């Protein structure tokens, strides 16, 4: 699974109004009732998901086949490559052609799905089957699958972010181990940077927010920022961690040559999800990326030694080293489904059955999303992939919280970051204005 969360934020936010309209159409309590599947009645359910690559589709279909073998009276009609906007439209309209089970790559949607009640609260199903979600799922993954007490989704594999580093370049620069704190990281990035005219022969790290995966929210994952206070108001202007992150990022930009010079160099990078990725080509010696990059590097071998490690943390939070930003896929049941008993059996199997979770994680090189699967001896995890397993287990790891209007607050923060790193806005004044923008948008969404 390849994460493109930031690139789809704008599109998702544009769908927010449409999603909120769903409340008026389907904001009732669960309508599924007893579909007879528990008593052996033949039932066909429809499952919509976003996987489209051949090996991904094959993996999900293998799990569905295993499920149908265990539940011979439940047939699953699987439909792949479905985007969130199509899901929202189908759930708004309802009817025979609407899906029963849905998965989404976008955890930013959870607040909308839960608050609009287009996805069913799964708490009664979990309770009925004696499943304790807090014991079943890692805390961070559980956090991004619920909103204000509504467990309308469950995690279905996850992504963890960490540091990729060029061991050959490290050795040439006299660096013996990956940096653990931001001060160590800054020193390493500077040592690894080799100028060439008004550009670079090699850049230690690309810190700019337009860089691949180097977003404000990903960086803030290393600080443990909360984004909102106890009253649901944006705290980005009052949380010192937020200002500290932006100050650190801007200082690193200046240390490595300045915003304009870095931006010119960034335009020479190839596609993120290809062998032309700047880490693959040696254009950058350190990269911030997800666990899927290990599979890409195996598929497209490079001519240098490389390794992974957790991304560094602020010096005053050195004890949290090992943490990382997390996100993932979610799965839930359509509130309009008339076959929710059968739908729950599929959700439970795909999201909780250890064999199913591990086999799927192994097949598509994602992080397992249950505690048992993370510790399974059947999990394929070489040392470089193990880094991301450990990040998923780390109690300090974090995610971005759900919001009623999806990822709109992240868009606001992203846009501020673009302005700040380019020197176009004052830090505190800009953060205060962005916080007001976030609060106003949430109030409007309510």
Average pLDDT, the chain: 92
Q: What is the distance between the alpha carbons of residues 219 and 222, in angstroms, rounded to a whole number?
A: 6
pLDDT greater than 90 at residue 85: no
Q: How far is CA 395 from CA 124, 224, 229, 370, 387, in A?
A: 27, 11, 21, 14, 14
Closest CA to 98 of 116, 77, 115: 77
Q: How far is CA 295 from CA 291, 327, 366, 384, in A?
A: 8, 18, 10, 10
pLDDT greater than 60 at residue 427: yes
Q: Let me know: does 114 contact 100? Beta carbons within 8 Å.
A: no
Helical H runs in 94-197? 110-115, 123-128, 133-136, 139-143, 167-172, 182-192
pLDDT greater than 80 at residue 366: yes
Residues 6+ apart with CB under 8 A from 267: none
For 161-320, the fitting CATH number among 3.40.980.10, 3.40.50.10420, 3.40.190.10, 3.40.50.300 is: 3.40.190.10
Tokens of 130: 């004696």
Q: For 38-67, what is the mean pLDDT? A: 94
pLDDT digits (tens, 9 = 90+) for 311-356: 999 999 999 999 999 999 999 999 999 999 999 999 999 999 999 9
| pLDDT higher at 89 or 121 | 121
pLDDT greater than 60 at residue 423: yes
Q: What is the distance between the alpha carbons of residues 26 and 93, in angstroms, rounded to a whole number?
A: 9
Does this model's pTM top 0.95? My answer is: no
Q: Let me know: does 161 contact 311? Beta carbons within 8 Å.
A: yes
pLDDT greater than 50 at residue 11: no
Q: Which CATH architecture has domain 5-159+327-388?
A: 3-Layer(aba) Sandwich (3.40)
Question: Residue 32's pLDDT is what?
Answer: 57
* Residues forming beta bridges with residue 165, ordered by sequence position: 286, 307
Domain ranges of the chain: 5-159+327-388, 161-320
pLDDT greater than 60 at residue 20: no
**What is the maximum span of the chain, computed from C-alpha positions, in angstroms?**
74
Tokens of 119: 């996805």
């Amino acid at each position: 699974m390849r994460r493109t969360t930031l690139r789809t934020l704008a599109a998702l936010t544009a769908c927010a109004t449409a999603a909120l309209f769903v409340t008026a159409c389907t904001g009732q309590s669960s309508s599924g009732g007893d579909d007879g599947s528990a008593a052996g009645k033949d039932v066909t359910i429809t499952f919509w998901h976003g996987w489209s690559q051949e090996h991904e589709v094959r993996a999900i279909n293998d799990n569905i086949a295993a499920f149908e073998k265990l539940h011979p009276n439940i047939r699953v009609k699987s439909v792949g490559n479905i985007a969130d906007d199509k899901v929202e439209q189908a759930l708004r309209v309802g009817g025979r052609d609407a899906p029963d089970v849905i998965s989404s790559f976008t955890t930013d949607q959870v607040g909308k799905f839960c608050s609009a009640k287009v996805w069913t609260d799964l708490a009664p199903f979990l309770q009925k089957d004696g499943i304790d979600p807090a014991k079943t799922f890692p805390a961070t993954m559980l956090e991004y699958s619920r909103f204000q007490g509504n467990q309308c989704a469950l995690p279905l594999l996850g992504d963890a972010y960490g540091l990729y580093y060029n061991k050959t370049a490290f050795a040439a620069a006299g660096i013996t181990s990956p940096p653990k704190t931001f001060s160590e990281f800054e020193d390493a990035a500077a040592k690894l940077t080799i100028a060439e005219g008004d550009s670079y022969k090699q850049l230690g790290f690309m810190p700019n927010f337009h860089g691949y995966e180097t977003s404000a929210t990903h960086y803030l994952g290393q600080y443990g920022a909360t984004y909102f206070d106890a009253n649901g108001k944006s705290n980005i202007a009052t949380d010192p961690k937020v200002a500290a992150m932006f100050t650190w990022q801007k200082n690193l930009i200046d240390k490595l040559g300045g915003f304009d010079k870095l931006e010119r160099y960034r335009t020479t990078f190839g596609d993120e999800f290809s062998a032309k990725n700047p880490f693959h080509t040696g254009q950058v010696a350190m990269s911030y990326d997800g666990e899927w990059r290990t599979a890409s590097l195996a598929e497209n071998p490079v001519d240098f030694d490389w390794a992974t490690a957790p991304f560094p943390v602020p010096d005053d939070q050195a004890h949290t080293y090992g943490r990382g930003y997390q996100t993932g896929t979610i799965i839930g049941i359509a509130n309009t489904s008339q076959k929710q008993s059968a739908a729950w059996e599929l959700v439970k199997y795909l999201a909780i059955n250890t064999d199913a979770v591990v086999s799927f994680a192994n097949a598509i090189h994602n992080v397992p999303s249950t505690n048992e699967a993370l510790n399974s001896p059947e999990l394929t995890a070489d040392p470089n992939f193990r880094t991301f397993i450990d990040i998923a287990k780390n109690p300090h790891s974090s995610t971005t919280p759900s919001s009623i209007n999806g990822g709109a607050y992240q868009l606001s923060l992203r846009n501020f970051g673009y302005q700040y790193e380019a020197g176009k806005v004052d830090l505190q004044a800009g953060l205060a204005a962005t916080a007001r923008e976030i609060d106003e948008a949430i109030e409007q969404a309510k």
